[in-house]
Structure 1
Amino acid sequence: MFDVNELKEKVLNGYKVTKEDAMNLIDVPLEDLTSAADEIRKSFCQNRFDACMLINVKSGRCSENCKFCAQSGHYDTDIDIYPLLSKEELKERSLAIYNSGFKRISYVASGRKVTKKDFEIMADLIEELKEENSDIKICVSLGLLTKDQISTLNEVGVDRIHNNLESSRNYFKEICTTHSYDEKLDTIEMIHSENVMICSGGIFGMGENFEDRIDLALQLREFGVKSIPINVLNPIKGTPVENNEILSNDETCRIIAIFRFINPDAYIRMAGGRALLGDNGRNAFQSGANAGILGNMLTTPGVELDNDLELLEELGFEITYSIEGL
């Protein structure tokens, strides 16, 4: 009979969970699984909580057909559409977040790739912000990047580059057909080769099964990813998945716990869709998650910031911006 506590003890002693191990976790009673996962989180990460806040720097008209995305130009959705914000506005928004006490900011631009002009504006801004504020942390999500672009981002002080794999290789083709899984892997490999921290995770509730989820978790471990966003699908009207059923809180917690077993020292980040869970992520943060996007998402509301801060304090987390372990 499979013993989750036996596997937990092995992980605590440095064992790497296999796919067979992870598949066994699918049927473990949820309370036993999440409790064990939270022990692993406490052992490897203590009570450190990595928080970031997003700025949607360029919205809509994306050429890609990702089925979940309200910003795809393939679908008729009710969102704000605008080109890259000016350098002045980006700096003003960034400093507003920074001066309110939150030091990690993530710039997210819609589109397969950023233009040369937009990239130069972003790079100049980041370099300026880092020179003026030594402790500010800047992350970027700019689509598929070249090696030279990644090198430039490293040089100007970007702390982390985001590129979600979204799902397993096997299921990705059901999500998007305008770019390939290998293109994403190539970008992540280049980020890895430049020694820049990687942020990469997935979106769940797209119709994938638990094997797909486990394959994704194992792929992320292979690249040594230490910041793993967990997005719960928010079915947006006008997208092909607008009628998908929202994942239950319990299923979300099982995903998180399994990811924690496979990636014991990672920051597992509650991202999009957390507000749909009914408890603002309380159960998720007791199932192995230890990071989150605070404030609003790209095109949908998030959890009220004051509620988040109160919850994190109640659960004993301390917001930190250390790069230790990342």
Structure 2
Amino acid sequence: MTIYGEWADRVLAGDQLTDEEGLAILNSPDEDLLQLLHASYKIRNHYFGNKVKLNMIINTKSGLCPENCGYCAQSIVSKAPIEKYAMMKQEEIVAGAERAASVNAGTYCIVASGRGPVNRELEIVIDSVKAIKAKHQDMTVCACLGILKPEQAKRLKEAGVDRYNHNINTSAAHHESITTSHTYDDRVNTVNHAKEAGISPCSGVIIGMRETKEDIIAMARSLHAMDADSIPVNFLHAVDGTPLGGTDELTPLYCLKVLCLFRYINPTKEIRISGGREVNLRSLQPLGLYPANSIFIGDYLTTSGQEGDRDRQMLEDMGFEIDLEPLANKEVAVN
């Protein structure tokens, strides 16, 4: 058995890797990658079998954001030529859910730019979710509306929102290098408000923003401590006109090592390959599903995704099944 297999057995027995072992995964020789993927898949298969959760996103409000996040084409400091529009109407949001259902996307993500939702925007989301749930009771509805107040989280829960996403994006130590218009704790507090309201917490990261490997380990550990149920792992798709435009730090092999690290540190959680999958993993996208068990299909917020038929063909070719089980029925197996 390889050292990666021994670590996988320890994780399955309930142990946590040390920081040194985490660094060893990120620094592992490229020739060890198949061994590392095999060991990561052992953990993934134990908890999730061969199933893959499909997620679809709708950008219900684009641009017009007062925040200064360096990676984001929608931020106030961005000069990227993106489409900008105010909050969509309820009919458009509900129509997006119909499209998600038609392609077997079990999770529908309602996303809006901005620091946080104003009352009118919140009302539109609440009414939309009620309409979606009336027809698609088993669809997992995830909202991503920015910084959330406790009373807003409670109202979203009452409307039928199953999951709330607010990414930490990077480590606490690296946060001010990415944005200064809100704090790292603002993000953590929003996730906690969602949890306290009874909403499943979703929080993830963006890799490739000039962080250190130690930062990446700190991100994975923070999400473990937060007990995030779903962890989107984004790989920076640098957009011209943003402060991080032109940044190109990632290779497909390194991205796979990052996914393996997140599986080791968060073994029972949904690890979702998210934005930047296509441009960073490139031809190695299928291998990402050995550690990860979830992907976005369709387009992202301001960047294009891979054609849905290619994603479905990828899953079929690899022998994976689409996971259609409702979130309410999920019970993660434990030893």
Q: Distance in 1 between matches of 2:140 and 2:117?
A: 21
Equivalent of residue 78 in structure 2, options 75, 80, 103: 75
Matched residue, 2:9: 9
Q: CA deviation at 1:283?
A: 2.0
Matched residue, 2:213: 210
1:144–1:167: structure 2 CA closer, same or farther, 3 Å change rule? same
Equivalent of residue 58 in structure 1, options 61, 69, 81: 61
In structure 1, the residue corresponding to 2:310 is in which secondary structure? helix
Tell me the number of residue pairs that the alignment of Structure 1 and Structure 2 aligns.
Answer: 324
Q: Distance in 1 between matches of 2:4 and 2:219?
A: 21
Q: CA deviation at 1:325?
A: 4.3
Q: Distance in 1 between matches of 2:318 and 2:154?
A: 39
Equivalent of residue 234 in structure 1, options 232, 237, 241: 237
Q: CA deviation at 1:233?
A: 0.5
Given that residues 90 and 124 in structure 2 are in contact (C-alpha distance below 8 angstroms), is that contact kept between their aligned partners in structure 1?
A: yes
Q: TM-score, normalised by structure 1?
A: 0.95
Deviations 1:31-84 (A, max 9, x none): 322221111111121112111101000000111111010011212111100000
In structure 2, the residue corresponding to 1:170 is in which secondary structure? coil
Q: CA deviation at 1:103?
A: 3.5
Match for 1:135: what amino acid? D
Judge which range, 96-105 or 294-303, deviates more.
Answer: 96-105
Match for 1:255: what amino acid? V
Equivalent of residue 307 in structure 1, options 303, 310, 327: 310
Q: CA deviation at 1:194?
A: 2.2
Given that residues 94 and 131 in structure 2 are in contact (C-alpha distance below 8 angstroms), is that contact kept between their aligned partners in structure 1?
A: no
Match for 1:241: what amino acid? L
Identity %: 33
Matched residue, 2:301: 298
Runs of 4+ in 1 over 6 A off after TM superposition: none
- What is the root-mean-square deviation in Å for CA atoms of aligned residues? 1.6
Q: TM-score, normalised by structure 2?
A: 0.93
Q: Distance in 1 between matches of 2:121 and 2:318?
A: 40
Structure 2 residue runs without a partner (length 5+): none
Q: Distance in 2 between matches of 1:307 and 1:129?
A: 27
In structure 2, the residue corresponding to 1:67 is in which secondary structure? coil
Deviations 1:192-233 (A, max 9, x none): 222211111100110001110110101101111121111111
In structure 2, the residue corresponding to 1:275 is in which secondary structure? helix
Matched residue, 2:203: 200
Given that residues 252 and 284 in structure 2 are in contact (C-alpha distance below 8 angstroms), is that contact kept between their aligned partners in structure 1?
A: no
Judge which range, 30-39 or 149-158, deviates more.
Answer: 30-39
Q: Distance in 1 between matches of 2:228 and 2:317?
A: 28
Matched residue, 2:128: 125
Matched residue, 1:36: 39
Equivalent of residue 285 in structure 2, options 275, 281, 285: 281
Deviations 1:72-106 (A, max 9, x none): 12121111000001112222222233244334210
Structure 1 residue runs without a partner (length 5+): none
1:178 lines up with 2:181 in the alignment: yes
